[in-house]
Amino acid sequence: MSPVLNYDKSKPLKTKVLMVCLGNICRSPLAEGILKSKVDPDKVFVDSAGTGGYHIGEKPDSRSIDVAQIHGINISDQRCRKFSSADFEDFDLIYVMDKSNRANILSLANSESGAKKVKLLLEVINDSPQEVPDPYYGGKDGFENVYQMIDQACTQIGDNLNKQE
């Protein structure tokens, strides 16, 4: 099992969810924090990762931290990590922010069951393959826009997970 799954293993979890973007500093940390705010932590474990190893061990981008804080969510304790093929075994649901990261992850899948876990995040609210844009090179408005998109998807995911017994 991956060392990132650092939860109390004496309490059975029903679902483990991974949020993935490129660097694990903008979109996926927001998605992790937002979804955590919408689910019971005793029933759902949420983590995030990046397909690139550019920022391993770093905090999320300060603009992601700021926009989350504006909405009452603290993501400043998160640390970036890189997606690994072990994540297919460790997680039940893997949500990616865009098609490029989905392709990168699917290239690491060693089974059809692992590949079936991977979905574009915004597919939960819209059947079309819409992507969460990378706000890294934009301004604060881009981060707020991305927050709103992710929040809408995480509300749907949270509602579905909270309905499970």
pLDDT, position 1: 36
The C-alpha atoms of residue 77 and residue 155 are separated, in whole angstroms, by 22
Let me know if 21 is a catalytic residue: yes
C-alpha dist (Å) from residue 10 to 6, 42, 43, 116, 161 = 12, 11, 12, 28, 20
| Given 27, 63, 81, 102, the catalytic residue | 27
Give this prediction's pTM.
Answer: 0.92
Let me know if 27 is a catalytic residue: yes
The C-alpha atoms of residue 122 and residue 51 are separated, in whole angstroms, by 18
Class of domain 15-163: alpha beta
Q: What angle do CA 115, 46, 42 make, to 5 degrees?
A: 125
pLDDT, position 2: 43
Residue pair 118/109 in contact (Cβ under 8 Å)? The answer is yes
| Given 21, 26, 80, 154, the catalytic residue | 21
In this structure, what are the phi and psi dihedrals at residue 31, rounded to the nearest 5 degrees?
Answer: -60, -40
The C-alpha atoms of residue 150 and residue 28 are separated, in whole angstroms, by 9
Show pLDDT as tens, one digit a residue, over the chain (165 residues). Answer: 344 555 566 667 689 999 999 999 999 999 999 999 999 999 999 999 999 989 999 999 999 999 999 999 999 999 999 999 999 999 999 999 999 999 999 999 999 999 999 999 999 998 777 999 999 988 778 999 999 999 999 999 999 999 886
pLDDT, position 95: 98
Helix, coil or strand: residue 91: coil
Q: Give domain limits for the chain.
A: 15-163
| Given 47, 61, 98, 134, the catalytic residue | 134
pLDDT, position 41: 93
